[in-house]
Amino acid sequence: MYSFEESVLILLNSIEGLYSHKQLELLSLYDSAKDLFDNFSRTKSLACSVVSENLYEKILQKLNQQEINKIVNNLVKDEIKVTTIFSSDYPQKLKDIPDPPTVLYYKGDLNLTKKLSIAVVGSRKCTGYGAKVVELFVKQLAPHDFVIISGMAFGIDEAAHNAAIEYNAKTIAVMGSGFNHIYPAQHRGLAKIIQKEGLLITEFYPDQKPQPYHFPMRNRIVSGLSDGLLIVEAGQKSGTHTTLNHALDQGKNVYIIPNDIFSFSSLGSNEMIKSLQGSMVTSPKDILDDFGLNPDKPKQTLQFDFNETQIINVLKEGQKHFSELLSQTGLGITELNFKLSTLEINGVVTKSAGNFYRLTMEVI
């Protein structure tokens, strides 16, 4: 079912405390996953240049074929699917972020990660105003096939998933725990709906319980899978700040709803607006315009040459980094720069921070 390389990575990911960047660092010390598997017990000093001695012993204890078989069999039994950074179906959007998760466990439709999407996040203690804003935006974005992404927490996250379900939009929930520990427990019913109708996904092994430090880690995936981040409400010490920072590092578009200056739930988001010029939105139309999806404008039929068509077809999959466009189109740097500039001038694509590009109009 999984290649040996994938199986070893899944095993490493099952070890508490051995997170993605450490897994990749460890693997980089060996010629291959098989080399690590075969020689780990004889290369303690090498391995301990990356991991602690305590973590080395944990890995050594589990690094055997019997443990791999046990893990894979349990995943199959529990109908939990897996993709790894070595897998062909691993989400392309996550390959472009600074710290991609090495393993993703999921239930539902992984193809949703390729679709146009918006992450909707905010306070766990959202106000009635915040809930109304979420409903308004999701309701008007849904007809344009936006996938709604959030973290399945209380408050704004919950409102976003529920609005997506109500208005027939697909939704992705990124968890901060493993499948055997749905959190919060009150959202088990919501989780079942999402895994059936959308996608429930996590980088945490099924037995891993939610921990406070898991949620900032989860937030980089929430923003990483999205084409834009919508912040509805956030207090001064809200975890939403970490999602915002990840989005900025990843070159995502950020949209922030202005709020009541007297509301505790608004202090953080209002400060974000002050520090991020051009981030404030007051209508779903602002986002639709930014993505070239203004419903009042007819779809445009334009003529493109072969190289421009190549670029457009790649960008139809979602936002891409310049280096990714180079590899997927086969164009040279000079030619690609020229064609991207032409497409930008014509309003077909836009460039964002970090040298990322995306389509800004619906091209027939």
Q: Which residue has the tokens 């990714």?
A: 324
pLDDT given for residue 164 in this prediction: 97
pLDDT given for residue 345 in this prediction: 74
CB 243 within 8 A of CB 274: no
pLDDT given for residue 300 in this prediction: 52
- pLDDT, one tens digit per residue, over 325-354 is 999 999 998 889 888 988 887 778 888 767
Q: Give kind and range of the element (H or E) at residue 322.
A: helix 322-329
Give the pLDDT band (50/70/90) at residue 245: very high
| Whole-number Å distance between alpha carbons of 175 and 191 | 10
Q: Which residues, listed in sequence order, are joined to residue 233 by a DSSP beta bridge?
A: none
Residue 295 has pLDDT above 60, yes or no: no
Q: What single string gives the DSSP state of each residue in 2-46?
A: --HHHHHHHHHHTSTT--HHHHHHHHHTSSSHHHHHHHGGG-HHH
pTM: 0.81
Q: Tell me 97's DSSP state.
A: S
- pLDDT, one tens digit per residue, over 5-57 is 999 999 999 998 899 999 999 999 999 999 999 999 999 999 999 999 999 99
Give the Cβ contact number of residue 145 at 10 Å.
Answer: 12
* Residues in contact with 239: Cβ distance below 8 Å, sequence separation at least 6, in sequence order: 215, 216, 219
pLDDT given for residue 364 in this prediction: 52
Q: Are strands 253-256 and 228-231 parallel, antiparallel or unpaired?
A: parallel
In three-state form (DSSP H/G/I as H, E/B as E, the rest C), the secondary structure along 130-171 is HHHHHHHHHHHHHHHCCEEEECCCCCHHHHHHHHHHHCCCCE
pLDDT given for residue 7 in this prediction: 95
pLDDT given for residue 259 in this prediction: 82
Domains and CATH numbers, the chain: 4-77 (no CATH), 110-290 (3.40.50.450), 306-359 (1.10.10.10)
Buried b (16+ CB within 10 A) or exposed e, 69-96: eebbeebeeeebebbbbbbeebbbbbeb
